[in-house]
């Protein structure tokens, strides 16, 4: 059993296998984060930033889930109000 786990570890440790997965994830995560930021959906941005799913959640967000504004902009409005700079008069 130990021999199989060592072989599996050696196989998965090869950079030529890991690099395509990293590029795949970075591409989809970047696109999903950009889309959620431009739509001002802070909750989706945080969820997409924190959870790694080999781009499955990101692809679902880009094509389907971005239509759902989970908090109707309430979190972002609260943060903007809370951290707004006072206007100079």
Tell me the pTM.
0.61
| Separation of alpha carbons 15 and 38, rounded Å | 34
Sole residue written with tokens 């950009």: 34
- CA 85, CA 74: separation in Å to the nearest integer? 19
Domain assignments of the chain as residue spans, ordered by start: 15-82
3-state secondary structure of 56: helix
Report pLDDT digits (tens) over 26-80.
999 999 999 999 988 888 888 888 887 778 888 888 888 877 776 677 777 777 8
Torsion on CA atoms 41, 36, 47, 59, rounded to nearest 10: 140
pLDDT, position 41: 87
């Amino acid at each position: 059993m130990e021999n199989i786990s060592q072989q599996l570890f050696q196989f998965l440790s090869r950079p030529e296998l890991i690099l395509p997965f990293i590029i795949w994830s970075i591409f989809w995560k970047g696109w999903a984060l950009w889309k959620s930021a431009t739509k001002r959906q802070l909750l989706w941005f945080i969820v997409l930033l924190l959870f790694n799913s080999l781009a499955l959640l990101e692809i679902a967000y880009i094509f389907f889930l971005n239509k759902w504004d989970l908090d109707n902009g309430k979190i972002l409005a609260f943060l903007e109000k809370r951290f707004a700079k006072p206007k100079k008069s």
